[in-house]
Amino acid sequence: MAAGEAARKVAVNPIQALGRSTLAAVRMVGSVGVFAARGTAAALSPPWFPGQLLRQFMAIGFFSLPVVGLTAVFTGAALALNIFTGGGRFNAEQVMPQIVALGITRELGPVLAALMLAGRVSAAIAAEIGAMRATEQIDAMRTLSTDPFRYLVGPRLLAGVLMLPLLTAVADTIGVAGGWLVATRVLEFNPTIYIRNTIDFLESWDIVSGLIKAAVFGFIVALMGCYHGYNASGGARGVGRATTHAVVSSAILIFASDYLLTTFFTHMS
Amino acid sequence: MTQIPKLAWKGVTKRFGDRAVLDGLDLSVAPGRSLVIIGGSGQGKSVTIKTALGLMRPEAGQIELDGENIVGLTESQRRKLFSRIGVLFQGAALFDSLSIWENIAFRLLNADGVPRKEARERAIEALEQVRLDPAVADRFPSELSGGMQKRAGLARAVVAQPEILFFDEPTTGLDPITAAAINELISHQVRRLGSTAISITHDLASAQTIGDEIAMLHGGKIVWRGPAADLRTTDNPYVRQFVEGRPDGPIAHAV
């Protein structure tokens, strides 16, 4: 039986299996890299499709506002409570506004906005482009003298890179407001002093570094959606697989690049 | 034959793994003629078209358009070439996020830079050519029946008056009456434009309506070729088995 033989071969030669999966991983990195380069080139050179770009600004940016805002307000509120009670163990309750502001702008604002986008946008992009692949719409586009990289991939990458920093700015504001709400309503902080402490403490780099992270995450989210959708194969099941891969790989790459960027920023300052 | 064929496959081989789906395919079609490729499922009909369109790259052989090789063109050369080509895809492949008129005018709007007003007018003319009510112009593909989608796909293929038209299984999935109407429309449009047409199908009625000539593809090679009228009289064993729909003969069961 073929399956039995295959299993035996793997058992006999684990090194071969290891080599095969290593090669597959290298091939994957290579093809994502080539795809990213082609997509970036398409996004940055004419012809542009302003209608498509506008549509993606709306889909990726505007329509993500509610979900990003809700995530931010609850996270800010919970963070404030946690830091207040935790800080209380060594009489550090009073620095809670500063720590909330720092945590939100540098880390939680960009990462949580990006994760929500990975779920919302990366999946939608992969499903849409995957379905277009499955129904030959991408082939049809090429035969109509239109480059799918310029028409489909470029606008999505551009929208991801430009919209996620904006969403993150909103998330930062709402997240800090969530902390402020809990602090003033539940923990009896003075509303004015809370805001004064936050503003006096924050440096512009705290916010800017978060926004730079967000631009990178936005690229990742759009890229993973486009890549997995564009390379979907095998009908409806393939589209489902592409969607899953887009979300999972976006999330992992967001966390990994978050750590790398944070390390880089720490060394820089 | 001294005339240069409009399109010719010369020794084209395309493999998927160990299996050669096209095995040194030689096939040509003269300018202004309509060639229909018939054959069973999995015999390489779609691959034949896809290699010519540059959607798949063959491992060996040449594909010549007006005597010039078109295998391995750059993206921009290919884009230019596509302005001379119209394709009707099997499932019509209409863009479901765009209205019918924007679908038909897609090339005009996105590649040729035609102003929207003029593009819309030309799309509506094309709708009339395929006998669709101009009122469907602002509807979306999902709101149309399968037959109407095929008509819209045909309108999109002919709107820029291409030199060469490709039809991928134009009647698959349609009822016999709608299929007959589509066949009739296709042959009418091909004659009106004077285009060269290459179609693939396993629908024999369709093949005889839209084809001047028919070629049968089996095992990645052409096993028979002749005028459309000869399809039912030839004694070629492959064609006989296919036309009569017998399970036994030179064509083994498809897996």
Residue pLDDT, tens place only, B55-111: 999 999 999 999 999 998 998 899 999 999 999 999 999 999 999 999 999 999 999
CA of B97: which chain A residue's CA is closest? A128
Chain B residues lying within 8 Å of A142, measured CB to CB: 53-55, 78, 82
Q: Give pLDDT, residue B43.
A: 86
Chain A residues lying within 8 Å of B80, measured CB to CB: 145
Task: Report the distance separating Cα B157 and Cα B189, nearest Å.
Answer: 10
Looking at chain A, list the stretches that DSSP marks H as alpha helix, in order from N- to C-terminal side.
2-12, 14-44, 50-56, 65-87, 96-103, 109-117, 123-134, 137-143, 148, 154-185, 191-201, 204-230, 235-268
**């028919």: which residue's tokens?**
B214
Question: For chain A, which residues make up each domain, given as ranges?
Answer: 57-268
User: Quick check: A4 pLDDT over 80?
Assistant: no
User: Quick check: A95 pLDDT over 60?
Assistant: yes
Contact state of B75 with A132 under an 8 Å Cβ cutoff: no
Q: Give pLDDT, residue A151.
A: 96
Contact state of A135 with B93 under an 8 Å Cβ cutoff: yes
Q: Give pLDDT, residue A1.
A: 43
User: Quick check: B114 pLDDT over 70?
Assistant: yes
A137, A142, A145: residue with CB nearest B95: A137
Q: Which one of A52, A132, A144, A149 would you mutate to disrupt binding with B, by most B Cβ within 10 Å of its Cβ?
A: A144
Mean pLDDT for chain B overall = 92
User: pLDDT > 70: what percent of chain B?
Assistant: 98
User: Quick check: B255 pLDDT over 50?
Assistant: no
Q: Determine the average pLDDT of the residues in B189-218.
A: 93
Phi then psi for B8, rounded to 5 degrees? -140, 135
pLDDT band at A11 (very low <50, low <70, confident <90, very high): low
User: Quick check: B175 pLDDT over 80?
Assistant: yes
**B85 in reach of chain A (CB within 8 A):** yes
pLDDT band at A197 (very low <50, low <70, confident <90, very high): very high
Contact state of A140 with B87 under an 8 Å Cβ cutoff: yes
Q: Give pLDDT, residue A8.
A: 60
User: Quick check: A168 pLDDT over 50?
Assistant: yes
Residue A183 CB-density burial (10 A; 0-12 exposed, 13-18 middle, 19+ buried): buried
Task: Report the distance separating Cα B97 and Cα B87, nearest Å.
Answer: 20
Task: Report the distance separating Cα A43 and Cα A257, nearest Å.
Answer: 22
Interface confidence (ipTM) of the complex: 0.92
Q: Determine the average pLDDT of the residues in A17-43.
A: 93
Q: Give pLDDT, residue A9.
A: 59
**B53 in reach of chain A (CB within 8 A):** yes
Q: Give pLDDT, residue B94.
A: 97
**B95 in reach of chain A (CB within 8 A):** yes
Contact state of A146 with B85 under an 8 Å Cβ cutoff: no
Contact between B213 and B226 (Cβ < 8 Å): yes
**B83 in reach of chain A (CB within 8 A):** yes
What is the tens place of the pLDDT at every residue in A115-153? 999 999 999 999 999 999 999 999 999 999 999 999 999
Task: Report the distance separating Cα A149 and Cα A129, nearest Å.
Answer: 11
B50, B53, B110: residue with CB nearest A49: B110
Task: Report the distance separating Cα A262 and Cα A215, nearest Å.
Answer: 14
Contact state of B89 with A136 under an 8 Å Cβ cutoff: yes
Q: Determine the average pLDDT of the residues in B161-176.
A: 93
Chain A residues lying within 8 Å of B156, measured CB to CB: 144
pLDDT band at B2 (very low <50, low <70, confident <90, very high): low
User: Quick check: B253 pLDDT over 70?
Assistant: no
Contact state of B93 with A140 under an 8 Å Cβ cutoff: yes
Q: Give pLDDT, residue A105.
A: 96
Phi then psi for B166, rounded to 5 degrees? -115, 135
Q: Give pLDDT, residue B173.
A: 86
Q: Which one of A128, A145, A233, A239 would you mutate to disrupt binding with B, by most B Cβ within 10 Å of its Cβ?
A: A145
What is the tens place of the pLDDT at every residue in A37-79? 999 999 998 888 999 999 999 999 999 999 999 999 999 999 9
Residue A213, sorted as left (phi over 0), alpha (psi -120 to 50) or beta, turns out to be alpha
**B55 in reach of chain A (CB within 8 A):** yes
Q: Give pLDDT, residue B140.
A: 97
Mean pLDDT for chain A overall = 93
Q: Determine the average pLDDT of the residues in A7-28.
A: 81
User: pLDDT > 90: what percent of chain A?
Assistant: 87
User: pLDDT > 90: what percent of chain B?
Assistant: 84
Chain A residues lying within 8 Å of B107, measured CB to CB: 144-146
Residue B24, sorted as left (phi over 0), alpha (psi -120 to 50) or beta, turns out to be left
Q: How many angstroms separate the CA of residue A128 from the nearest CA in chain B?
A: 10
Chain B residues lying within 8 Å of A145, measured CB to CB: 79-80, 82-83, 107, 110-112
Q: How many angstroms separate the CA of residue B235 from the nearest CA in chain A?
A: 37
Q: Give pLDDT, residue B206.
A: 92
What is the tens place of the pLDDT at every residue in A210-226? 999 999 999 999 999 99
User: Quick check: B1 pLDDT over 80?
Assistant: no
Contact state of A140 with B95 under an 8 Å Cβ cutoff: yes
Range ranked top by mean pLDDT from A89-93, A248-252, B242-246: A248-252
